[in-house]
Amino acid sequence: MKGKIEIDQELCKGCGLCIQVCPKKQIEFSDALNKKGYYPASFKERDRKTTEKLECTGCALCAIQCPDVAIEVYREEKEQSTTAKKAAPTDE
Amino acid sequence: MKKVFARPESLKLTPFHYCPGCGHSIIHRLVSEVIDELGIRERTVGVPPAGCAVLAYNYFDVDMAEAPHGRAAAVATGIKRVRPDLVAFSYQGDGDIAAIGTAETIHAANRGERITAIFVNNAVYGMTGGQMAPTTISGQVTTTTPLGRAPLRDGYPLDLSEMLGIAAGSVYIERTSVSSPKWINKTKKAIRKAFMVQLEDRGFSLVEILSPCPTNWKMTPVQSIRWVEETMMTIFPPKVIKDVA
């Protein structure tokens, strides 16, 4: 896995914008409510039907779009020099 | 794995009170990131508006001074004139800067005050329940224009940024959006440049940001960012309106 994201379930308000921008379609609504009563977004590591492992690239588009700053993005260090500057210019 | 995206230091870990899908909190984050990158957190003073962002002092980890409705430009002027070493920015919505605060804003721009204005345009009065604002576009349904804004009765949408572009003292005016990651990155660059104009002591800078208001537009968050791109951008095209920097 090249990257992963962590979504703070209590900060998320379930607006679904991250789901819309994810190029790998790896984010979905959670089945459980959070304390505020929203269905928060959650990170999907495996495809529901095929149980195949999905490849998050750590592009950070979801975190850039997230209105509640609920997403933290992690990426493997090897890829750092080539993809980091291109994909996430907002984080230095 | 290395963390490549996290909450900026100048943004407190307080959950936002904004509605799901609101653009305000994205803009809060961008301003905080710029403050962090420029290393001006200890000498920045923000002036929040009356409106949904009135509680911005709960979120920014910098000094804040609340202004009366629309008078953020005047308050920021005072701060900057008394303490020129500080970085003063105002954070205003369209009901604040383009309605009740038009006079203060135009004169601050014309005097070339060394302040930065962040102008969040969502085409509606958000906090009070979705009434028509000066920036409401023709035909848009609000609680006070239930059949849509009719220009002959209600007037035309006000393009404040173009007006400020005419003012001699303004240096940098740009209109952007937060409707997609691409536009969010552009917005951050614009905010950074606006702060740089102030740090270089050149004059007045303003960034107008088209921002979704799903609650008062009666849309889902995804529909609202589409509406920004498909409808609002035709009336308020994103562009650099003035750049003499």
All domains of chain A, ordered by start, with CATH? Answer: 3-77 (3.30.70.20)
Residues of A in contact with B185 (CB under 8 A): 64, 89-90
* B12 in a structural domain: no
**Assigned domain for B13 exists:** no
Q: Cα(B102)–Cα(B215) distance, rounded to whole angstroms?
A: 26
Neighboring chain A residues of B3 at a CB cutoff of 8 Å: 72-74
Q: Which of B3, B11, B184 sits opposite A69 (nearest CB)?
A: B11
Q: Which member of A17, A60, A61 has the closest CB to residue B222?
A: A17
CA distances in angstroms from B1 to A77, A78, B5, B9, listed in the order given: 6, 9, 12, 21
- Across the interface, whether the CB atoms of B1 and A21 are under 8 A apart is answered no
pLDDT at residue B245 in the model: 65
Left, alpha or beta for A81 (phi > 0: left; psi -120 to 50: alpha)? alpha
Specify the CATH number for the domain of residue B35.
Answer: 3.40.50.970
The helix (H) or strand (E) run that includes residue B136 is: none
Side chain identity, residue B92: Q
User: Which of B1, B2, B3, B4 is the best substitution to test chain A (most A C-beta atoms within 10 A)?
Assistant: B4
Binned at pLDDT 50, 70 and 90, residue A54 comes out as confident
Determine whether the interchain pair A90/B5 forms a contact, defined as Cβ–Cβ distance below 8 Å.
yes
pLDDT at A46: 80
Q: How far is B3 from chain A (nearest CA, A)?
A: 4
- What's the gap in Å between the CA of A78 and the closest CA on chain B? 9
Q: B20–A76: do the CB atoms touch at under 8 Å?
A: no
Domain count, chain B: 1
Q: In the prediction, which pLDDT does A92 show?
A: 47
Q: Kindly state whether residue B5 falls inside one of the protein's structural domains.
A: no
What is the pLDDT at residue A52?
A: 77
Kindly give the parts of chain B with pLDDT less than 50: none
Q: Which of A35, A69, A91 to mutate to test the interface with B (most CBs of B within 10 A)?
A: A69
**CA-based torsion, B67, B72, B73, B78: positive or negative:** positive
CA of A84 vs chain B CAs: smallest distance (Å): 8
Half-sphere exposure at residue B218, Cβ-oriented, CA atoms within 13 angstroms: 8
List the one residue out of B111, B108, B48, B99 whose CA is nearest residue B73: B108
Residue B29 lies in a domain: yes
Q: What pLDDT does residue A1 have?
A: 65
The rounded mean pLDDT for chain A is 84
Binning pLDDT at 50, 70 and 90, where does residue A82 land?
low
- Alpha-carbon distances of B92 from A40, B82, B202, rounded to whole Å: 29, 22, 21
Do the bridges between strand A27-29 and strand B63-64 make them parallel or antiparallel, or are there none, so unpaired?
Answer: unpaired
Residue B4 lies in a domain: no
State the pTM of this model.
0.92
Higher pLDDT, residue A77 or B90? B90
pLDDT attached to residue A85: 52
The residue written with tokens 């552009």 in the block is B186
- CA gap B21, B219 in Å, rounded: 10
CA distance B215 to B173: 28
pLDDT of residue A86: 53
**A21 half-sphere exposure, CB direction, 13 A CA radius:** 25
Q: Is the pLDDT of residue A83 over 90?
A: no
Parent domain of B110: 24-243
User: What is the pLDDT confidence band of residue A87, given thresholds at 50, 70 and 90?
Assistant: low
